[in-house]
Amino acid sequence: MTETADPAAATGDGLRALAARFPPDFAWGVAASAYQIEGAVDEDGRGPSIWDTFAAQPGAIANGDSGAVACDHYHRSAEDVALMADLGVTAYRFSVAWPRVLPDGIGRANEAGLAFYDRLIDGLLARGIQPVLNLYHWDLPQAIQDRGGWTHPDMADWFAHYAGIVADRYGDRVREWLTINEPQVFAFTAHAVGRHAPGGRDWPTALRVAGAALRAHGAAAQRIRASVGAARIGLALDVNRIEPATESAADAAAADRHAAIRQRWFLDPLFGRGYPEAALAAHGLAGHLADELGGRGLEPPALEAPDFLGVNYYARELVAADPDALFGLRLVPAPGAPRTTMDWEIHPHGLTRVLADLNRSYAPPALVITENGAAFPDTPAADGRVDDRERRAYLEGHISAAADAVADGVPLRGFFVWSLLDNFEWEKGFGQRFGLVRVDYATQRRTLKASGEWYRSFLRTHHQRPDR
């Protein structure tokens, strides 16, 4: 059952003015990922993923939550596609669960798993929604992790094999492809910081994983293109706005170092520049480029520039120099700045700056905002409705910031809200809600929030433009 909240207050003139700032063929969508919404982790031949294993470890996930059921999207995908159609989105960015397609990570594909995505893709197309398929959103098959995971020398070949199976199956219907989502997170947060699966805490390993992710992206892109000649292929990077906390030279150097480690470590090789010197120096000073590495795994791969660059933007990060902290830096909050329940600063103008900087520094053929959204408490009223005016203001501010970038000549082609549904938020469990649609996890009832009503009104206004 789907319930609807009262529309958020919005003037028609304001919506028309904002909608008019985007070209008529601009892609408006929502995004989600397999492990966060699908559930059905042991059904129809799906193999375990590293997140199944990680979630089973006591204390790894808040409240002992897991994605075992999540939003039950595996059984409710038709209902969720209907929700998207009601919103008026023209595209849906989703991920394929590698262990659902290849339970052992390699070898023979699982027909039942492939058939699920057939149904999803066909359902989207029947509603006029373009599927944007992401191959990897962190749910590595446990069988591959048992062989060494992302540090195995055959990892790029295994990923290309998986990409080929998916491309051969869906390439007749899918033209927009993402290979990997946020390699920074599963390289560093998962292998050096330990907060994500598989829970590693070793920086040299994390650096090998980062290099392997770039090589896997390149191998998968080649395999997809061989199967789908008209494919547009990219990957999504986490690119927040990074600024020094003060005007001091030390803070400026710390901010540059943080950007090099977190962002340019992936952006520079992706556009043929090798690893950034500031990051190499930082890793060397921290002892992460130990002699035992011998340079193996740190040679930047030769890659073709992507057809588009996916940008996941959520916040601004202020950086202060701290000689006693890792890499000589720490993040500090901006005094008095509004923050989400993820403790992320709300800073829409940072999105405009990020898009302009990426365009100026790398000149990608196109940019797409593949994730943007916010977590708030979302306390439902007695009737179950959710007046999430904070999220509505967040989205309106960031869509306006995206319009500023378009006006400045940035080749921005799409905007995907994270997320369609409240879902499993990794180590935070179900305690953080990002959705335009509230999910009551006990009943799986979906309720469109006020932010979803606003987004629907905005999209209808955009679609009704006379130049469409």
Active site residues: 182, 371
**On the CB side of 124, how many CA atoms lie within 13 Å of its CA?**
22
Closest CA to 101 of 149, 170, 32, 52: 170
Question: What's the per-residue H, E or C state across 230-262?
Answer: CCEEEEEEECCEEEECCCCHHHHHHHHHHHHHH
Q: What are phi and psi of 465, to 5 degrees?
A: -60, 140
Q: Taking the CA atoms of the chain, what radius of gyration do you get in angstroms? A: 21
Q: How far apart, in whole angstroms, are the C-alpha atoms of residue 279 and residue 210?
A: 13
Beta pairing class for 329-332 and 316-321: antiparallel
Q: Around Cβ 380, how many Cβ atoms within 10 Å?
A: 16
* Contact criterion met (CB below 8 Å) for 233 and 306: yes
Task: Give, as one character, the DSSP assignment of residue 196.
Answer: S
Between the CA atoms of 6, 394, 17 and 10, what dihedral angle is there, to the nearest 10 degrees?
Answer: 20
Give me the helices (H) in 132-264, please: 142-145, 155-170, 183-184, 203-227, 249-259
Q: How far apart, in whole angstroms, are the C-alpha atoms of residue 374 and residue 383?
A: 23
Q: What is the largest CA-CA distance in the chain?
A: 63
